[in-house]
Amino acid sequence: MKQLLKKFSIAIATIGALTSVATAANPPQPTEKAVLWKISGNGLDKPSYLFGTFHMLCKDDFIISENAMKALAATGQLVIEANIFDPAELQVAQQAVMSDIPQNQRLSKEKYALVDSILRAKIGVPFQRFDSIRLSALVGVLAQLGFTCPQPVSQEATLYQYARQKQMKFTTLETMKEQVDYMNKGFSDAYFFKFLQTVDSLKISTMRMVNAYKAQDIDAIQQEMNDADMNYWLLTRRNTNWAGRMPAMMKAGSCFFAVGSGHLAGEKGIIQLLKAKGYTVTPVLN
């Protein structure tokens, strides 16, 4: 269960990309193709940086640019979404994804049988094994089917290891409880059953999103996350929270913010939210 929760918590942006159902009808003004952005002005003594990650990647696709590592080294603190490296926080996450009512009592016989058949076919285990957890957690379980490698790796883990080696400060933009609560709301039962229809195409979706990330096309990544309810809870609400917390962090010292790339672009993305607060946010191009 602990390993499941770790994968569940670090795959948010990837899950959002894999579970899209349409492209945006009216996309905002195109954003420059960059996953690393410099934040300056508005009274800051030193610039901070915003880095868009793709939370989990196969080793053959794994990349963190030299510019990104230089930017991290130039700051005093690494800031990620939530502390996926703290066993105590993972324990909190475990409690937050437990279902008050077993799924075999919550769901109709037809829906339970459908989920059971998919789990048996795709990952070789019966639904009974997951009977006590929310369906939102099963989105994280099934999203792993999108990868062609058995054990994708985490960009955040690489950044975290570097920060520890350099004895840098480390903090997060939200607690694990906050993160999982938003995921439980965004990955509703209705969303879950819609997501089940995409399981067979997850590898194709993942490849498309990985290619967009390699091209640093954050607009393409953001526009894929287009389920209205999921988008509201996982992106809009959290972006607003984070943009409200970042100024105090940056005032206290230069920060390197590493968050899923889906959070950067768009009218309600972090880039625009910080600009609205008076910061100058500029791309750092390779």
- Residue 60 CA to residue 77 CA, distance in Å, equals 28
pLDDT, position 12 = 41
Task: Give the DSSP letter string of 51-82.
Answer: EEE-SEE-TTT----HHHHHHHHHSSEEEESS
pLDDT, position 227 = 82
Q: Write phi, then psi, for 61 (nearest 5 degrees).
A: -100, -10
pLDDT, position 14 = 44
pLDDT, position 42 = 97
Name the 3-class secondary structure at 260.
Answer: strand
pLDDT, position 140 = 87
C-alpha of 44 from chain center: 27
Q: Are 38 and 284 in contact (CB under 8 A)?
A: yes
pLDDT, position 27 = 46
- Residue 202 CA to residue 207 CA, distance in Å, equals 9
CA dihedral of residues 88, 93, 96, 102 (deg, nearest 10)? -110
- Residue 73 CA to residue 121 CA, distance in Å, equals 46
Structure tokens at 4: 């499941």
pLDDT, position 127 = 97
pTM: predicted TM-score of the whole model, two decimal places: 0.90
Beta carbons within 8 Å of 286's beta carbon, 6+ residues apart: 65, 67, 216
From start to end of the chain, where are the E strands?
Answer: 36-40, 48-53, 56-57, 77-80, 153-154, 169-172, 255-260, 280-283
CA dihedral of residues 3, 114, 107, 184 (deg, nearest 10)? 40
The rounded average pLDDT for each run of 10 residues, N- to C-terminus, in the chain (286 residues) is 48 43 46 94 97 93 95 97 93 92 97 97 95 93 90 93 97 96 94 94 91 93 81 95 98 97 93 97 91
pLDDT, position 6 = 47
Report which DSSP code applies to 235. Answer: I
Report which DSSP code applies to 86. Answer: -
pLDDT, position 30 = 66
88 CB neighbour count, 10 Å cutoff: 8
Task: Give the DSSP letter string of 125-158.
Answer: --GGGGTTB-HHHHHHHHHGGG-SSSS-EEHHHH
